[in-house]
Every structure is written in structure tokens, then in C-alpha cells.
Amino acid sequence: MTDPQSISDLIERALTGYEALTALGEDIEDEWSYVNDLSAAWTDRLTAVAAARSATAASPAEIVAVDRALAEIDAITDPHRAIDWLSTFPQVVLVALREAS
Amino acid sequence: MRFQDAARDGRAVVYAGIQAEPVVARAASLLADAGPAQRVLARAVMNGESTDPAGWMAMFPTLFGADVAAGPERARSEAILATSLEVADRGEQVRSSVRGAIVEALTAVLLERRVGTAAVRRERRILFDGVRAEIHPYDVTVERDGAAEAYDCKWGARGINPDVLHQLDDARGHAAEEDETLRVALVIFDAERSCRVRMERQTAPTAGTGLIALETLDRLASG
């Protein structure tokens, strides 16, 4: 039997997908700095939630929600849409975890 | 300071058609009464790749989970999802225009709750004595003696740019020169955190321009 996945583990997985999304957004050279500033701001927010809830087990619904959100960003190939999702994805994850943006 | 309808050029005629689409008014009405999570749902779906409702419902367990009872809130979430999917199903260019029109319509609906229908106008220019008129109209204005307001509406934080910031700040400044009060603000259907990151990068003036973000939309109705 495996240990239950913690909120911290779940966010760590979310951030791995988020890094790939950031790399795709960087393809828009004029927005490179904005992309990285935006990514850093939301990474900080998600990391803070992970630290605050490191001992909390993620519920099955929360795990499914983040997995679906990760699948959504994994399907993105357009760097402009990737920039949209650099803002949207963290909001979706935070809503799933009942956390404020 | 005086207000004037924008010129009916080709762009305006095409965009008026988008603004008049029933889905725009329906989405604005639903989102006006929505909570923050429901608004994030709308943003995600209208930005999304997938058009599978079940996938989106799984992504938002706080709105559609087994522990969310049937009732008005769940029904609103379901209606927002259906309406957002209708928008997402459009081609990319039309989808983008519809999203913009929804933010404008939502802004107007919320403002009308505070100031009444008659004072809220769309696509208006603001004219000042001795100042060349801006080409681009303001998306939504509140036209009241001594308490006028002008709003530029954007779907995402990336829409914040020097042109719009200068236009809003210039209007506020020209109004002040005429001893008029003109409150100016951006309405962005995106998280405040993203908007702040975008605004911090701008060299255009931002101090006199308000920011209404996804989390604070209801301030339009409450003042």
C-alpha cells in the first residue's frame, strides 16, 4: 500500500507541468521577461501553499482535478495560449485546493 | 468634458455584431452573479483546448464534486460551463472577440447595479476642449455629472499595455484640467496577481488608474 499523496506532492507535480508551460510561453520572445515574472509569481504562491499544507493528504477529487488541469496544459502547443494558461493554470489548481489566488 | 458615440467604421460594425450575440449577454448575466471559483471556471473553459464537459467538471471539484448539492449554485456552475463551452467551440479569432465582448458586457451589468441603466454607455469617446480626440473609444463609461467613469476591459492581464494606460491616464488628467472628476480603471478578467505582474513592467503611468480584477469584479456594483 502506498502512502497517500500530500498536497505538497500534488503541487510539486503541478509545478513540474507549469515549468514546461513556462518554457513554451518563452517562445514569444517579446514576452520573455513577462512570462518569467508571471511564472515566478505564481510558483511562489503555489510553493507557499505546499509549505503550509505539507502534512495534509490530498483528496481523490483534488488529485483528479490537478491531473485534469495538467492534461489540459499538456495539450497546449500554441505559445500564446501557453501565456494565457500561465495565469489560468495556477488559479485552477488553487480553486481545486480551496485556496485563494 | 463631453461624451460622444464612437465612429461607426468597419471594425465597429463587425464588433457590434459580436457584442449582440446572445451568448455574450447570457454569459455576462451568469458571471455577474457568479462567485470567484465560477469565474475562474469560465476563464479556464473559454481559454481551454478541451470541450469535454466531464473533464472540466472533474477539474473543478469545489463546484461539481459529489459533495456539492443540487441547487442554485450548482445550477449556475453548470450554466456557466455550458455557456463557456459554447464560446470555446468557436474559432480562435471569434472566440477572442466574444471573450472581450463578454468582459465589457459583464462590466456594464455590474455598473448598472450601482448607477442605473441610463448612466452606463458603451463604445464612447470622451472629448476635451483643445485636445485631439482619441481614436479608440472607451469600452464602458458611466456618464453622470460630477461622477463620470471610464473603463477599458480586457480578457487577460496580457492585454494591459502602454497605449491603454496612457489613454486612461490622459483622460483623467484632461478631466482634472477642466475641473471635472473622471474615475478611470482597467477591468481585467484575470487574477489580480497576474495583472500586478503585468503592470509592474509598464513604464506608462498607472498610479491614477484603478484595477478591477477577477477577484474584485463585484466592486463595480458596490463602488
Nearest CA in chain A to B199: A34
Q: Are B87 and B144 found together in one domain?
A: no
Residues spanned by the domain of B80: 10-96
For residue B133, tell me if it sits in a domain.
yes
Classify B13 as helix, strand or coil: helix
**Is residue B109 one of the residues assigned to a domain?**
no
Q: Give the number of domains in chain B.
A: 2
- The answer, yes or no, to whether residue B198 has pLDDT greater than 70, is yes
Closest CA to B154 of B170, B133, B140, B135: B140
What are the domain boundaries of chain A? 7-96
B156 touches chain A (CB under 8 A): yes
| B11-15, B89-93, B151-155: least confidently modelled range | B11-15
Q: Please indicate, yes or no, whether residues B119 and B156 belong to a single structural domain of this protein.
A: yes
**CA–CA separation, B89 and B20 (whole Å):** 18
Per-residue pLDDT at A9 exceeds 80: yes
| Residue pair B137/B168 in contact by the 8 Å Cβ criterion | no
- Considering the domain architecture, whether residues B91 and B149 belong to the same structural domain is answered as no
B60 and B141 inside one domain? no
Same domain as B183, residue B151 = yes
Domain boundary among B96, B127, B151: B96
Q: Are residues B171 and B213 in the same domain?
A: yes
Summarize pLDDT for B97-108 with one digit per residue, the tens.
999 999 999 999
Q: Which H helix or E strand runs over B140?
A: strand B138-142
pTM greater than 0.80? yes
The residue of chain A nearest to residue B35, with distances taken between CA atoms, is A95
* C-beta atoms of A81 and B47 within 8 A: yes
Q: Which of A37, A98, A101 shows the shortest C-beta gap to B191?
A: A101
Asked whether the beta carbons of residue B62 and residue A96 sit closer than 8 angstroms, the reply is yes
Here the ipTM equals 0.96
Residue B54 included in any domain: yes
CATH code of residue B174: 3.40.1350
Q: What is the pLDDT of residues A15-51, one digit of tens each?
A: 999 999 999 999 999 999 999 999 999 999 999 999 9
The nearest CA of chain B is from the CA of A91 a distance in Å of: 7
Cβ–Cβ under 8 Å, residues A39 and A17: no
DSSP one-letter string for B47-85: H-S---HHHHHHH-HHHHSTTS-SSHHHHHHHHHHHHHH
What is the per-residue pLDDT for A78? 96
Q: How close B48 comes to chain A (CA, Å)?
A: 7
Asked whether residue B88 falls in the same domain as residue B123, the answer is no
CB contact (8 A) between residue A91 and residue B157: no
Render pLDDT for B201-223 as a digit per residue (tens, 0 to 9): 999 999 999 999 999 999 999 97
Q: Are residues B14 and B76 in the same domain?
A: yes
Q: How far apart are CA B27 and CA B44, in angstroms?
A: 14
